[in-house]
Amino acid sequence: MNTQKLYLACDLKDDSELIAEYKKYHAVGNAWPEITKSIKDAGIVNMEIFLTGNRLFMVMEVDETFDPVQKAKADAANPKVQEWENLMMKFQQLIPWAKEGEKWVALEKIFQLN
């Protein structure tokens, strides 16, 4: 299986209580099973989220079946995913340079040590 990694960033509201609550939702075993199923069903074989201050960094490892447009359509049609996304907006804020409708912004790779 061929995979590739995608790197994205999103900001949380700069509020220590909200950040702590967000971290609880993402602690091992706390993410809703419908959410993890939707992630896996989309061809995402692994996902990690890192935090520094109020900035989140996501690393997604995806297989050849992953299609971000199809994932967005499936998410829009899934009431449980929409419930989760609406809940997460309590904690998240858009990065200032995010495009319209873009919550997670793709990172630009600018260096690699070979």
Residue in 72, 58, 51 with CA at minimum distance from that of residue 8: 58
Are the C-beta atoms of 46 and 60 separated by less than 8 Å? yes
pTM: 0.92
Is 73 within the bounds of a domain? yes
Is 111 within the bounds of a domain? no
Is 60 within the bounds of a domain? yes
CATH number of the domain to which 51 belongs: 3.30.70.1090
Is 112 within the bounds of a domain? no
Is 96 within the bounds of a domain? yes
**Residue-number span of the structural domain to which 19 is assigned:** 3-106
The pLDDT value given to residue 6: 98
10 Å Cβ neighbour count for 46?
Answer: 12
Overall number of domains in the chain = 1
The pLDDT value given to residue 101: 84
Tens digits of pLDDT across the chain (114 residues): 799 999 999 999 999 999 999 999 999 999 999 999 999 999 999 999 999 999 999 999 999 999 999 999 999 999 999 999 999 999 999 999 999 989 999 999 999 999
Is 113 within the bounds of a domain? no
SS3 84: helix
